[in-house]
Structure 1
Amino acid sequence: MRLLGLLAGPLAAAALLLIPSGLHEVPGAGHRPAAAAAVAAWMALWWFTEAVPMAWTSLLPLVLFPSLGVFGVRGLPSAVGRSALPYVDPYIFLFLGGMALGAALEQWHLHRRIALLIMRTIGTEPQRLLLGMLLATASVSLWISNTATAVMMVPIGMALVSQLESVEGRRLRHFGAALMLSVAYGSNIGGIGTKIGSPTNSVFAGVASRRLAIEVGFLEYMAAALPFVLLLLPLVWRVLWREGRLDALGPGQGSDLIQRELAALGPLSRGEKVVGTVFLVAAALWMGGDFVRDVLTPWVASTFGGFKLLGKHYEAAVAMLAAGTLVLLGRLSRGALARVPWDTLLLLGGGFALAAGIEGSGLSTYLGVRLAGLESLGLLAQYGAVALSTVALSAVASNTATVNVLLNVLPGSLPLLAVSTFASSCDFALPAGTPPNAIVFGSGYVRLPTMMKLGGALDLLATAVLTVYGLVWVRFVLG
């Protein structure tokens, strides 16, 4: 697959660039739409097949856009500058600061304490234990990467299953599978809820800013996304419990383990208190961003020569200020920063660069005409088609690659783009969908037929819920 993708990428680009088509006939655009389409096809094929590391693919616009004249500007320095600008988009710094905060939570094990406290609060009866694992995982994933969340929660889940098995005296194949899948699915769903929860959310915010000139604030995004998380989690729990209850478990035995884990963490350390305080202050500043930005805007404009303080500038500044504060206070170590997935920043930059090329070349106009048929459908059909196609594509490609492509070709409707973004984190049927889906296979409890059976049902359920949710709620919040 990788070898085929490696060859197919440049071949598809050459075909789009050299074979005459409607892409070469866009009035006033010349060859530029075809050139942008060629680069987009090349990147999409390499992203979907992972022919080369995804971060490397994300650098293609830096070379191909200037050499192919995608922006139609004179002079190589201007073309390179136009191609490079998306790689320093403020949303990239927002995600960088968010990842640094997540790294600090991991360094001081504060995320682990939060997860264990949530599980202890909900209860340790088998069905409550499953719900607690799902909610705890989703709560942590709101603020740190879904991969890091899954890596942290799998050992906790394995320890709980081991204790239950020692009490029952048998292997709990069904409950073990349900508990492990709750880690994968909770990691994916929780990441939908905030702008820093998943790279896909930053891609959405960046595309909305560049393509539609709409700034989606931190609180506005949460208002659109978090209710979907809260709506989907109980449904996922019910589906997983249908599998878990097949082991006919007795009364809960997980409380002792949770208490021992909390006792091992000890009382709140000074480091945890500092990190928790900085995190809460940053979250409050993000959520109250509209009010604070209104206060700061006149001062920023007068101090920096009329600079317009947009929401993305403010949110990125808060994120970087929080991360810098933790570094200066010695609460974010070099080792913790080294574990930050830096290549994700290049992936975001490549997605933003692709969006800029599609818009600046005139390709977006061409695609808008061709996709007008989708907008002629009823609203319910539009949301259903977008949700289903995104879930299906994310089953075989990473969710970040999926949104990097789809958000640049779908009709320019902010609610539709949001629905596609949420749907990209809702593939539950295959390991290729997201890293947490693959991580839980290492537990030995999850078999592919089980994931396909439960995950396939959840894929369809999430698509149906998201279709109605997009029509009723997202359109109201973001429309």
Structure 2
Amino acid sequence: MAPRIVKELLSFWKSIVFLLTPVLLCPLPIYFASTQYSKIAACAYAVIIMAVYWTTEVLPLAVTALLPIILFPMLGVQSSKDVCINYLKDNNFLFVGGLLVAVAIEKWNLHKRIALRVLLTVGSEPRWLMLGMMSATAFLSMWISNTATTAMMVPIAQAILTELLRETGKDKPEERRMLPPDGKTGGGEDGEALKLKEIRMEEGDHDFVEDDTTMAEDQELLLHHLQKQLQSSSADSGDRMSKGLLLCICYAANIGGTATLTGTGPNLVITQAVDTLFPNGPGIDFVTWFSFGFPAMILALLLAWIWLQCMFLDCSCLLGCIKQRGCKGRCKRDRDNAAYKVIRRQYDELGPVSFPEKVVLLHFVLLVLLWFFRDMKFVKLENGRAAGWTYFFVKGYMTDAATGIMVAIFLFFWPSKPPNFMCCRQKRDTRPAEPAPPILDWATVHQKMPWSVVILLGGGFALADGVKVSGLSMWLSEAFTSLAGVPPAVVALVVSIIVAFITEFTSNVSTASIFLPIIGKMAEGICVHPYYLMIPATIACSFAFMLPVATPPNAIVFSYGRIKVFDMAKCGFMLNLGCILVLTFAINTYGIPLYGLSTFPSWATCAAGGVTLLGPANVTGLPANVTLG
């Protein structure tokens, strides 16, 4: 009876978690209600409830993100008016602007043309094919949704794999290579004879007899056994290659999004967290982020490529075509012509570059250039202002969000066909002059735009704002002063590891929303530049390589049935650690001069052991000049 009741209760576990979490945590705000920590406790209560709901997904992620609108006013943390402002901030519209351009790219199949062009360039040999897939996926994920990129790339990979395995005889046993009548498998005669003897002796059925009949029977038996072994080995090799070529897509999609500010949600969360926690700071814009994220992305992508080869291609000649037993013949470029023909056929089916593709590409390039040259802080003019096209506007008014929305609006106006009226009409054009539909229309945007992510980002921004207004951020800053003696490099490494493994079970945006405000105040507590901890932690939120549920690209690849959870976990665990080491290397080398991490910024406050740091501090955390607080 009891097991049945437990089983029935477990089937309603989401409802139980939803109802019990606020009840079990209610002593926290009640106990501190009449003290000076009432607001801090109330905000902590709301943060923990959202963390539990985001982790367990008892509600849709975007719905949980709306909770601050209810909880903060009820608990006396913030008014509803102040909370709601966070859901439509500048950074939300930066994301929307980037998404609108991405929707146009998807609508006119420009992303597929780019991907197939890259694959045609690198060739169809497995290791180069893997590099081509990863390069194309990572590049597209920098600008469009990693989910959309993966959903587009996996069918391409499946078609290529089918032809690749069919030609090499690794997809169906009856199509695999059979042994020649003389028992040789392509190696030397003596070597193959030795293999046959070894296999037969291991069988232990009966001894060799030197007579023609017995020898003929034995040889037939041995050949049959060897054929089975070769078939099994061939099938395993094809299966491993399939896993490697599919996993490389979801891993590249996760890594690629870290390079740009609009590539993935956590990158936008840090911009708002920095603006909220440090309003006097310079903030993080597109160029500031790209300067650090892109080189780190390239390093992580190369590491993933090498690691996937070691895991699945079983080829020791990673960097050169050295013929060895483990990879004999595999290093011959473009060996698999059938796979190359599949790529060529799919590319040819797209036809010549269409007018809409050219228009979308033009707007895409224009957007990137406008983002890059908006505010060139490294070039100072005579009056002290930075160079850039925003020089001709009021300082600080034109942001990356305004730029993205501006280009996106043009797409709703620009025609999808060349004009055919008056002097623009072609001589052979007999169509009546009429306006062409625009490149982008609202029906397409409504269908493809992930509005839930916009709300999820808003919830993260509201959470960060509430943490600051309530005083919880200051309390956390003081609580972390006990870590002041720990080397910051160790703290940064540990924080990145914790965040990377937590994001295996939760949404990367929700993970960033919960942890970044805390990490920002931790940096102040140990007198370290906030960017030194926050930037690696943000990128680590995208290093979800171990589980299918960790991120949509992993789930898409897993749904095709070629990959087991164990395969992903075994490969992803080491890749998680490797990419975190890449992050550690990046932030401790070129990240220091790029962000000025060697000095503690004047726009942050360092409080450690009753002292407040007013001057600079080096990255080891030792203050250069302190005064009593």
Indicate the residue corresponding to 2:313 in structure 1.
Answer: 245
Indicate the residue corresponding to 1:304 in structure 2.
Answer: none
Please report how far the alpha carbon of residue 451 of structure 1 lies from its aligned counterpart in structure 2 after TM superposition. Answer: 0.7
Please report how far the alpha carbon of residue 403 of structure 1 lies from its aligned counterpart in structure 2 after TM superposition. Answer: 0.4
For the 8 Å contact 2:411–2:439, the answer to whether it is kept is yes
Q: Would you tell me which structure has more helix in proportion to its own residues? A: 1
Counterparts of 1:406-421 in structure 2, within 5 Å, are 406-410=515-519, 411-412=522-523, 413-421=530-538
Please report how far the alpha carbon of residue 401 of structure 1 lies from its aligned counterpart in structure 2 after TM superposition. Answer: 1.1
Indicate the residue corresponding to 2:563 in structure 1.
Answer: 446
Please report how far the alpha carbon of residue 395 of structure 1 lies from its aligned counterpart in structure 2 after TM superposition. Answer: 1.1
Give the letter for the 1:10 counterpart. P
Q: TM-score, normalised by structure 2?
A: 0.70
2:434 matches 1:347: no
Matched residues in 1 for 2:513 and 2:300: separation?
24
Counterparts of 1:4-403 in structure 2, within 5 Å, are 4-20=16-32, 26=36, 30-71=37-78, 79-171=79-171, 172-213=238-279, 214=281, 215-246=283-314, 250=330, 251-253=335-337, 254-291=339-376, 300-301=393-394, 309=396, 314-329=399-414, 330-337=438-445, 338-403=447-512
Matched residues in 2 for 1:167 and 1:24: separation?
76
Q: TM-score, normalised by structure 1?
A: 0.91
Indicate the residue corresponding to 1:76 in structure 2.
Answer: none
State the secondary structure of the residue aligned to 1:289.
coil
- Provide closer, same or farther for how the CA distance between residues 477 and 104 of structure 1 changes in structure 2, counting only shifts above 3 A: same
Matched residues in 2 for 1:204 and 1:113: separation?
33
Post-superposition CA distance 1:109-162 (Å, at most 9, x none)? 001111111122222211100111111110110000111111111101111111
- Comparing 338-347 with 410-419, greater Cα deviation is found at 410-419
Matched residues in 1 for 2:546 and 2:451: separation?
28
Structure 1: tracts of 5 or more residues without a match: 72-78, 302-307
- Provide closer, same or farther for how the CA distance between residues 149 and 18 of structure 1 changes in structure 2, counting only shifts above 3 A: same
Matched residues in 2 for 1:392 and 1:373: separation?
24
Give the letter for the 1:252 counterpart. D
For the 8 Å contact 2:255–2:542, the answer to whether it is kept is yes
Matched residues in 2 for 1:278 and 1:32: separation?
47
Post-superposition CA distance 1:64-94 (Å, at most 9, x none)? 21222113xxxxxxx2221111111100000
- Provide closer, same or farther for how the CA distance between residues 67 and 252 of structure 1 changes in structure 2, counting only shifts above 3 A: same
Please report how far the alpha carbon of residue 297 of structure 1 lies from its aligned counterpart in structure 2 after TM superposition. Answer: 6.1
Matched residues in 1 for 2:27 and 2:579: separation?
37
For the 8 Å contact 2:375–2:389, the answer to whether it is kept is no
Post-superposition CA distance 1:270-309 (Å, at most 9, x none)? 10011110111010000111049866767654xxxxxx62
Please report how far the alpha carbon of residue 462 of structure 1 lies from its aligned counterpart in structure 2 after TM superposition. Answer: 1.5
For the 8 Å contact 2:371–2:403, the answer to whether it is kept is yes
State the secondary structure of the residue aligned to 2:375.
helix
Give the letter for the 2:462 counterpart. A
State the secondary structure of the residue aligned to 1:432.
helix
Indicate the residue corresponding to 2:216 in structure 1.
Answer: none
- Provide closer, same or farther for how the CA distance between residues 50 and 84 of structure 1 changes in structure 2, counting only shifts above 3 A: same
Post-superposition CA distance 1:303-324 (Å, at most 9, x none)? xxxxx625xx511011111111
Matched residues in 1 for 2:297 and 2:516: separation?
21
Matched residues in 2 for 1:297 and 1:167: separation?
57
For the 8 Å contact 1:40–1:354, the answer to whether it is kept is yes
- Provide closer, same or farther for how the CA distance between residues 299 and 237 of structure 1 changes in structure 2, counting only shifts above 3 A: closer
- Provide closer, same or farther for how the CA distance between residues 445 and 142 of structure 1 changes in structure 2, counting only shifts above 3 A: same
Question: How many residue pairs align between the two structures?
Answer: 459
For the 8 Å contact 2:167–2:336, the answer to whether it is kept is no
Q: Compare CA radii of gyration and give the structure with the larger one.
A: 2
Matched residues in 2 for 1:440 and 1:228: separation?
24
- Give the alignment partner of residue 540 of structure 2, picking from 416, 423, 440: 423
Matched residues in 1 for 2:461 and 2:129: separation?
41
Post-superposition CA distance 1:231-275 (Å, at most 9, x none)? 011110111112332496852332211111110111111100111
Give the letter for the 1:199 counterpart. G
- Provide closer, same or farther for how the CA distance between residues 160 and 295 of structure 1 changes in structure 2, counting only shifts above 3 A: closer
For the 8 Å contact 1:180–1:443, the answer to whether it is kept is no
State the secondary structure of the residue aligned to 1:275.
helix
Please report how far the alpha carbon of residue 217 of structure 1 lies from its aligned counterpart in structure 2 after TM superposition. Answer: 1.7
Matched residues in 2 for 1:91 and 1:137: separation?
25
Provide the identity percentage.
33
Matched residues in 2 for 1:381 and 1:157: separation?
40
Indicate the residue corresponding to 1:305 in structure 2.
Answer: none
Structure 2: tracts of 5 or more residues without a match: 1-12, 172-237, 316-326, 378-385, 415-437, 524-529, 598-629
